[in-house]
Amino acid sequence: MAATLTARYIDAVTRSLAPNAQEDVRVELEASIADAVEARLEQGESPDAAERGVLTELGDPAALAAGYAERPLHLIGPRYYLVWWRLLKLLLIIVPVSVLGAVALGQTLANAPIGEIIGTSIGAAVTVAMHVAFWVTFVFFLLERTGADTGVRWNVDMLPEPQENGTGRSEMIASLVFLVIAAGAVIWDHFRGFAFVDGVAVPVLNPELWPGWITALFLLMGAEGALAIAVYGSRRWTRAFAVANTALAVLFVSWGLTLLLRGDLINPAFIELAFTGRVDGEVLRILAVLTGFMIVGISAWDAIDGWRKARRAATSG
């Protein structure tokens, strides 16, 4: 004799439960289904329609079984979701970018072709990002299934500080002070020498950069200072300010890399005295690569920071 729909439904619910819980659940379901069917029969429904209606309202038996077993049907539940999401975002910002820079630096030092440098660096960054996403999610999946405690409890001390939509006076002053110090360091280096080798003051920057190239650098610094004042006057970062900031960063990178690739950025006398003539072409190439990566890294961070502030200001209204 074929099993009824109710018997099939109850069997589908109880088969995945622990043996010691199956009978109790079976009895409970039989009683509740019978009561619900009887209520529908009293309202004039046919027995077949009443049974189908009750079982349809109960839903997927696998979901009902998971509720009896207190087994989650989600990958990451509300208990761990925010911790997982915050950690994942942080790691996806830091780790792939760090790997990309490190691989690019290593490939450049190995004198690899530009295509290989780009392809290998991006490939490594994407691979690492996928691993970070998988393993962080897998760890929290295990925590969700085992019910382990991360030890993270929210409290009022974790509230973020209020964020201004724009830029404060302290940020503008800090930017201007930094630019003045940087300009003063360039001038001091030219007239007094910024490095001392065996008691002799030697300029680090090539004196031949004066006046043309250094004037261009001072103009970039002045534009950076004007941008800081404009942002403060506007009381907020905007897309236009972010574009201007990125343009200044690109110009600074162009200034630095052009001189570096031509071998005109660092004073030859400083290199000669610092290494007492024991430096060869390969060492100079490595020093140039490291300097170039430092110039690009600082400028890239400055540009990204400008866009981040503009986006935050736009989001907060």
Residue 202's H or E segment, with its range, is strand 200-202
Q: What is the pLDDT along the chain (317 residues), one digit of tens a residue?
A: 345 788 888 888 888 777 877 888 888 888 888 888 888 888 888 888 888 888 888 888 877 777 777 666 667 777 778 788 888 888 888 888 888 878 877 777 677 787 887 888 888 888 888 988 888 888 888 877 776 665 666 555 655 555 554 456 778 888 888 888 888 888 887 887 766 666 667 788 888 888 889 899 999 999 999 998 888 888 888 889 999 999 999 999 999 888 888 888 888 777 777 666 555 666 667 777 888 888 888 888 888 888 888 887 776 65
Rounded Cα distance, 203 and 175, in Å: 25
Predicted pLDDT of residue 161: 55
Rounded Cα distance, 238 and 309, in Å: 8
Rounded Cα distance, 309 and 241, in Å: 10
The predicted model scores a pTM of 0.58
| 199 Ramachandran zone, left/alpha/beta (phi>0; psi -120 to 50) | left
Residue 211's H or E segment, with its range, is none
- The terminus-to-terminus CA distance of the chain in angstroms comes to 69
CA dihedral 278, 284, 287, 289 (to 10 degrees): -160
Residue whose entry in the numeric block shows the structure tokens 């005109």: 264
Contact at 8 Å (CB) between 206 and 265? Answer: yes
In residues, how long is the chain?
317
Residue 215 carries which side chain, given as an amino acid letter?
T
Q: What angle do CA 226, 230, 233 make, to 5 degrees?
A: 140
Nearest residue to 252 (alpha-carbon basis) of 191, 189, 182? 182
